[in-house]
Amino acid sequence: MSTTVSGKKKYRNVGYLFSRGGNLAGIDVTRVTHLNIAFGLIYNEEYKEIGPENAPVAVPADFGPGKQHTIYLPPAGAEILSQVDELKAQNPDLKILLSVGGWGARGFSDAAATEEGRKRFARSGREIIDQFGLQGIDLDWEYPVDGGGGIIKARPEDKQNFTLLLQEVREAIGEDKILSIAGAAMVEFTGSSTRPDDGRWTEFDKIIPILDYINLMTYDFQFGSNYFGSALYWPEDWPPRDEIEGYWVSKAVENYLSHGCPADN
């Protein structure tokens, strides 16, 4: 998470502010280089089909021809983004991005499935960037192909469509704006030399050049026999059943590096 300037490394310190219940006044923005406002959501028919009572993350059921597959900004998020100038006054170098998605957020698979949907999504991202004077957009699709373990719509073609969606967003926002993603630590996201299902969620080697950087999600590792949510190294005293089931931060980072992600990405 660094770049080299005049022989010295300049690190990114990325913070996330969850707009639902987030306290903007409690954040010292002089301590971060990038601030992601979470989350923008997506207008989509999936919400309409399932109903708000079962939707992990809901958006208004307003599906006009121009809104389907576009980004919906909840009021709390819009309120925070309206204060961008105040944040920049505190830290003129601060980069502010909108994060779209999050756990249980619906609509990615359908938006990415067609060229029209991808273009609508990308254009709406550009419009929000321009409206609030943001420096970029961050996509948090959890996850292509997997669909959050089945809680949101997914399809096998998500793997290729994710690449196409990122390409469309990059074209819409330009090279001067930041495009990042929240990346899963699991080998299904990147690939593995020991797993038969390696890399089945993304075309990892193809998405890296499109992005400015990836925010690697090194948390929520506890499942099965893995006891720790974010262990730095293999937990020798309380080890998982095996190295395939177990996850820890260094393993996730090494897996990214071994599959072509630059160390400064």
Answer yes or no: is 2 within a domain: no
Angle subtended by helix axes 158-173 and 115-132, to nearest 10:
40
Answer yes or no: is 75 within a domain: yes
Domain that holds residue 142: 12-258
Answer yes or no: is 252 within a domain: yes
pLDDT recorded at residue 8:
56
- By the 10 Å C-beta count (0-12 exposed, 13-18 middle, 19+ buried), 1 is classed as middle
pLDDT recorded at residue 197:
57
Beta strands in the chain (DSSP E): 2-5, 8-11, 14-18, 34-42, 71-72, 95-101, 136-140, 178-183, 213-216
Phi/psi of residue 147, each to 5°?
60, 40
pLDDT recorded at residue 49:
54
pLDDT recorded at residue 1:
45
Answer yes or no: is 1 within a domain: no
pLDDT recorded at residue 65:
73
pLDDT recorded at residue 242:
77
Contact 227, 173 (CB under 8 A): no
Answer yes or no: is 110 within a domain: yes
Q: Is 142 a catalytic residue?
A: yes
Answer yes or no: is 7 within a domain: no
Averaged pLDDT, groups of 10, the chain, 265 residues long: 52 89 82 95 74 58 82 91 92 97 94 97 98 98 95 95 98 98 94 68 96 96 88 88 83 92 88
Kindly report, residue by residue over 21-57, the tens digit of the pLDDT: 777 777 899 999 999 999 999 998 776 555 555 555 5
- Report d(CA 81, CA 118) in Å as an integer: 24
Contact 90, 29 (CB under 8 A): yes
Q: Which residue has the tokens 């990114």?
A: 12
pLDDT recorded at residue 10:
78
Answer yes or no: is 124 within a domain: yes
Answer yes or no: is 232 within a domain: yes
Count of domains observed in the chain: 1
pLDDT recorded at residue 160:
97
pLDDT recorded at residue 4:
42
Among candidate residues 45, 116, 127, 142, the one labeled active-site is 142
The CATH number of whichever domain residue 36 belongs to comes to 3.20.20.80
